[in-house]
Amino acid sequence: MKWEISCAEQPNALESLQTFLSQSSYQTPTAMSEREHRVSRWYFGGLAAASATCFTHPLDLIKVLLQTQHGPEKPSISKITSDIIKKNGIIGLYSGISAALCRQLTYSTTRFAIYEVAKQHLKMDTFQMKVAVAGIAGFIGVSWEPQPI
The radius of gyration computed from the CA coordinates of the chain, to the nearest angstrom, equals 25
Distance (Å, rounded) from C-alpha 46 to C-alpha 55?
A: 15
The model's pLDDT over 41-72, given as tens digits with 9 standing for 90+, comes to 788 888 999 999 999 999 999 999 999 988 88
Q: How many CA atoms lie within 13 A of 80 on its CB side?
A: 18
The model's pLDDT over 2-47, given as tens digits with 9 standing for 90+, comes to 445 444 454 555 565 556 556 545 455 555 555 455 566 788 888 9
Say which amino acid occupies 137. A
Decide: helix, strand or coil at residue 45.
Answer: helix
The backbone torsions φ and ψ at residue 38, rounded to the nearest 5 degrees and listed phi first, read -85, 135
Distance (Å, rounded) from C-alpha 102 to C-alpha 98?
A: 6
Distance (Å, rounded) from C-alpha 45 to C-alpha 3?
A: 36
The model's pLDDT over 119-140, given as tens digits with 9 standing for 90+, comes to 888 888 899 999 999 999 888 8
Angle at 140 between CA 58 and CA 51, to 5 degrees: 25
| This model's pTM is above 0.75 | no
The backbone torsions φ and ψ at residue 147, rounded to the nearest 5 degrees and listed phi first, read -100, 140
